[in-house]
Amino acid sequence: MRRILRTEGAWLHDDEGSAILDAISSWWVITHGHRHPLIMKAIREACDSFDQIIFAEYTHEPAEELAKGLLAIAPEGLAHVFYSDSGSTCVEVALKMALGYFHNIGEPRSRIVVMEHSYHGDTIGTMSAGERGVFNAAYQSLLFSVDQVPFPLPGHEQNTLDAFEQLCRSGQVAALLIEPLVLGAGGMLMYPASLLTELKRIAEKYGTLLIADEVMTGWGRTGTLFACDQAGITPDILCTSKGLTGGALPLAATLCCPQIFDAHLSTDRTKTFFHSSSYTANPIACAAGLANLEVWKNEPVHARIRSLEAMHRERLERFAIDPRFSNIRQTGTIVALDLSVSASGYLSDAGPKLRAFFRSRNLLIRPLGNVIYLMTPYCVDETDLDRAYGAIDEAADMLAVGVR
């Protein structure tokens, strides 16, 4: 354990005087950099007027303004915002919206389709939707069943589409819940935007809703503000958290299209969307979210992302023909490489060894088993990246089974 005293930009400063490069954005939340001045200022100012306020019958300006701002930049057609406080909760909200929608329109569909290797959170509902394995084996009896389509391995994309269409034909599928373009915790697995476009087309054909879990992929990580933008689709429901406040405070939002909102809007109170947790729309977190929107508007964030993408691309090249690695991949600012070890998978021995090695080099990099990935804040520079890639190279010398 290392005790952090202070954060700044891409760095964590510990109580032994070391500066640690946060190469995974503190579990993918920090987008611009730690303690972005405008976001911290907005938080301080919000504290002069607000703490938590009930968000039923009462409202406040930070939540209203943030909702308007979000809808202005989200894929066109999303029209309503529901706040919660984490990635898991905003996906739970999405699942409830989907089932509530079909329940309220008198067409009770109840099946949820997910993609193999998905991760959607660690609550019971989101674990149910995620890949089953060591993380949730102990709770198996509590998890509900979902249908799964195979991950679209290159050259086998049609199998995924066919499997989805086959499931949709039953008329029972309420929604496809999917991480667009990059499956994060499942191993930074990447697939092309065209596949997402096709999945949306099939969903529409069968009246199935598409829920985009943009908890990780949102806020520029994949190169565009939302990953769905690259597929040219508007999901029926979009989940966002992490970078929503630039990562500074916990906040989440589930955006939905008018038909879902309308199905819950009624004088018949049995149709109400019954979901209201204590910290919904925390005003200070919403103020941080609003400041984040200002940063996106007023600073060259897109240019920073493009330059970070290029810096990665250049540095990844040398690994492409390196037998110590396979499956070198990049989507926007996210890069991943599989280290060739004798035992792969999340519980591979390589994971803890690599973590310890990176820690010893003052780098916060936490491989997913033998999958080494980088997902830095956008403020990193070439020297920071050289340091990270240099350490990956060294780590491979220590552990890889391949021959140079």
Pick one of 25, 31, 84, 86: the residue that binds ligand PMP (CB under 6 A): 86
CB of 28 to ligand PMP, least distance (A): 6
Dig out the tokens for 311 from the structure: 């810096």
CB of 309 to ligand PMP, least distance (A): 20
Pick one of 22, 179, 236, 338: the residue that binds ligand PMP (CB under 6 A): 179
Backbone angles phi, psi at 12, to 5 degrees: -110, 135
DSSP state at residue 143? P
DSSP strands (E only) in 184-317:
189-190, 209-213, 237-240, 252-256
CB of 95 to ligand PMP, least distance (A): 12
Does 87 participate in binding ligand PMP (rule CB under 6 A)?
yes
> What is the C-alpha separation between 394 and 388, in angstroms, rounded?
10
**b/e burial code for range 303-333 (CB count within 10 A of at least 16 → b):** ebbeebbebbeebbeebeebebbeebbbbbb
Does 245 participate in binding ligand PMP (rule CB under 6 A)?
no
> What is the C-alpha separation between 216 and 331, in angstroms, rounded?
12
Does 198 participate in binding ligand PMP (rule CB under 6 A)?
no
DSSP state at residue 174? E
Dig out the tokens for 213 from the structure: 């879990």
Closest Cα to residue 68, out of 81, 58, 59?
Answer: 81
Pick one of 115, 185, 251, 372: the residue that binds ligand PMP (CB under 6 A): 185
CB of 178 to ligand PMP, least distance (A): 10
Does 178 participate in binding ligand PMP (rule CB under 6 A)?
no
Pick one of 31, 84, 88, 280: the residue that binds ligand PMP (CB under 6 A): 88
CB of 182 to ligand PMP, least distance (A): 9
Does 215 participate in binding ligand PMP (rule CB under 6 A)?
yes
Which residue number, 62 or 218, has a Cβ lying nearer to ligand PMP? 218
Residue 264 contacts residue 271 (beta carbons within 8 Å): yes
Dig out the tokens for 323 from the structure: 């037998």
From 70-78, 87-95, 197-205, 375-383, span contacting ligand PMP (CB under 6 A): 87-95
Write out the binding residues for ligand PMP, residues 310-329 only, by CB under 6 A: none
> What is the C-alpha separation between 257 and 74, in angstroms, rounded?
11
DSSP strands (E only) in 332-400:
334-339, 363-364, 371-374
Does 253 participate in binding ligand PMP (rule CB under 6 A)?
no
The alpha carbon dihedral of 69, 74, 80, 83 has a sign of: negative
Site string for ligand PMP, 351-390 (x = CB under 6 A): ----------------------------------------
**Contact positions vs ligand PMP (CB under 6 A):** 86-88, 91, 119-121, 179, 184-185, 213, 215-216, 241
